[in-house]
């Protein structure tokens, strides 16, 4: 059985086609710079096929979807009828705690949650609607970044606001990156040959978006991202934690509207805002290495916030068996990993510098790399995440339930 997973960004459309019998990747790709000059479609056959890239004339997500479906039906698929279900990544599930078939109520709830995740939801809604038009016979399943964090207890999720916002409006920490945190913690459990129910794990998803999650027995019990996708760590263009009392002051001083303030927090802050150079950690690191003071400050602030969050999660868990680095930065930046864990040996974190800086890298076949020193009381891992596989599994489960209900 084949499942198509689609992950829509504001100017990109990523996709992965799975054969679920063996959880095998048949085809994957990304249409990038949608609506901009130089739109590209990069794709590959299988998990390790060579990338092919071509320029495409695509002005919106509907045309990007046409490009993708045409490529699939001229390659691994004879017909779209081979796809019984499509998984659509959705940032915020709102009242929905787990993956569900898409209907008008689900789309309405996703739209209602758009203020909580304004960078992502408009494109996600557009992609779902366009896909339903082109594949009316397939089961469309919404899979939510927030689902994994539904186990966070109320005392960890509630904000210190008047209780009515929690009780009546449901304003609480919901977290994101759930598929990533769930996948990497499961892979580490397998690597350690220990039941995940017996493990306390801190997972650091560090990329353009970033979060740290405490996982106790396979369940998320706390995380740094909140009800919105701007709380917590410093990110590529997002501010992370800011003194809430400062925001109305800035709004008054700079005559900013609420929408302008949101734009500043989401698009003009983070690594880009501090460094004045880039949201890309690779460029920030390179500039810091050349002595750029603002780049150095951005790098140090990013690592400090991550370091502080790991310490918080260590206390939440009351101990830790494994620390995971994942995401584009976590997986690829030995500098960031070193700066985060520097001087933490007394807490149990002892990294093997040779392994951290060595040539060995995670691969799709070997997604887990142990960079712990033999004397480390807490195992330290770099793990290549695979969010799409988690989404495909959730989609398949929903498909099975729907089919059983029809029998």
103 is in an annotated binding site: no
206 is in an annotated binding site: yes
14 is in an annotated binding site: yes
Please name which of 130, 6, 4 lies closest in space to residue 75, comparing C-alpha atoms.
4
Question: For residue 35, how many other CB atoms are within 10 A of its CB?
Answer: 13
Kindly write down the DSSP assignment for every residue of 136-194, as one continuous string: TTSEEEEEETTGGGGGS-HHHH--SS-HHHHHTT------S-HHHHHHHHHHHHHHHTS
251 is in an annotated binding site: no
For helices 246-254 and 258-267, the axis angle rounded to 10 degrees is 110
Q: Burial letters for 120-139: b for 16+ Cβ neighbours within 10 Å, e otherwise?
A: bbebbbbbbebbeeebeebb
Q: Burial letters for 378-390: b for 16+ Cβ neighbours within 10 Å, e otherwise?
A: bbbbbbbbbbbbb
Question: For residue 161, how many other CB atoms are within 10 A of its CB?
Answer: 11
229 secondary structure, DSSP code? T
The structure tokens 């799709």 sit at 364
CA distance linking residue 236 with residue 224, whole number of Å: 15
280 is in an annotated binding site: yes
At residue 26, the 3 state secondary structure works out as strand
Structure tokens at 53: 């890239």
At residue 43, the 3 state secondary structure works out as strand
208 is in an annotated binding site: yes
Structure tokens at 44: 């590959």
List, in sequence order, every residue forming a beta bridge with 265; answer none if it has no partner. none
| Cα–Cα separations (whole angstroms), residue 67 to 15, 81, 153, 343 | 12, 17, 43, 50
Residue 51 annotated in active site: no
Q: Which of 51, 66, 137, 145 is catalytic?
A: 145
281 is in an annotated binding site: yes
CA distance linking residue 42 with residue 52, whole number of Å: 6
89 is in an annotated binding site: yes
Q: Specify binding-site residues for ATP.
A: 14, 205-209, 280-282
Annotated binding site for substrate: 89
Q: Provide the annotated binding site for Mg(2+).
A: 7, 387
Active site residues: 145
Residues in binding site: 7, 14, 89, 205-209, 280-282, 387
């Amino acid at each position: 059985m084949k499942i198509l997973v689609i992950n829509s960004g504001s100017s990109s459309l990523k996709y992965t086609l799975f054969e679920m019998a063996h959880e095998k990747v048949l085809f994957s790709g990304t249409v990038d710079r949608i609506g901009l000059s130089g739109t590209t479609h990069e794709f590959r056959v299988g998990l390790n096929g060579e990338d092919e890239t071509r320029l495409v004339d695509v002005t919106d997500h509907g045309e990007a979807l046409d490009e993708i479906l045409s490529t699939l039906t001229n390659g691994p698929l004879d017909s779209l009828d081979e796809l019984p279900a499509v998984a659509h990544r959705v940032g915020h599930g709102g009242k929905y705690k787990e993956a569900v078939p898409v209907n008008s109520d689900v789309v309405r709830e996703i739209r209602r949650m758009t203020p909580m995740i304004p960078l992502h939801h408009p494109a996600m809604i557009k992609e779902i609607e366009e896909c339903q038009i082109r594949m009316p016979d397939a089961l469309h399943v919404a899979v939510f970044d927030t689902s994994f964090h539904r186990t966070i207890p109320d005392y960890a999720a509630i904000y210190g606001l008047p209780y009515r916002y929690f009780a009546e409006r449901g304003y609480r920490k919901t977290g994101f990156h759930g598929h990533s945190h769930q996948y990497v913690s499961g892979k580490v459990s397998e690597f350690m040959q220990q039941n995940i129910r017996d493990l306390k794990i801190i997972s650091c998803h560090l990329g353009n978006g970033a979060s740290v999650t405490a996982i106790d027995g396979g369940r998320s019990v706390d995380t740094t991202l909140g009800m919105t996708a701007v709380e917590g760590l410093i990110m590529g263009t997002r501010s992370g934690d800011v003194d809430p009392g400062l925001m109305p002051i800035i709004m008054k001083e700079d005559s900013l509207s609420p929408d302008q303030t949101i734009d500043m927090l989401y698009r003009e802050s983070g690594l880009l805002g501090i460094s004045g150079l880039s949201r890309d950690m690779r460029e920030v690191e390179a500039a810091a290495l050349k002595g750029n003071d603002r780049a150095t400050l951005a790098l140090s602030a990013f690592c400090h916030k991550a370091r502080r969050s790991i310490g918080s999660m260590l206390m939440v868990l009351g101990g830790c068996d494994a620390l995971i680095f994942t995401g584009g930065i976590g997986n690829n930046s030995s500098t960031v990993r070193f700066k985060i864990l520097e001087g933490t040996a007394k807490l149990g974190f002892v990294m093997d510098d040779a392994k951290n800086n060595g040539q060995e890298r995670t691969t799709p076949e070997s997604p887990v790399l142990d960079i712990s020193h033999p004397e480390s009381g807490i195992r330290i891992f770099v793990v290549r995440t695979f969010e799409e596989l988690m989404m495909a599994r959730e989609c398949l489960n929903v498909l099975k339930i729907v089919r059983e209900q029809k029998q």
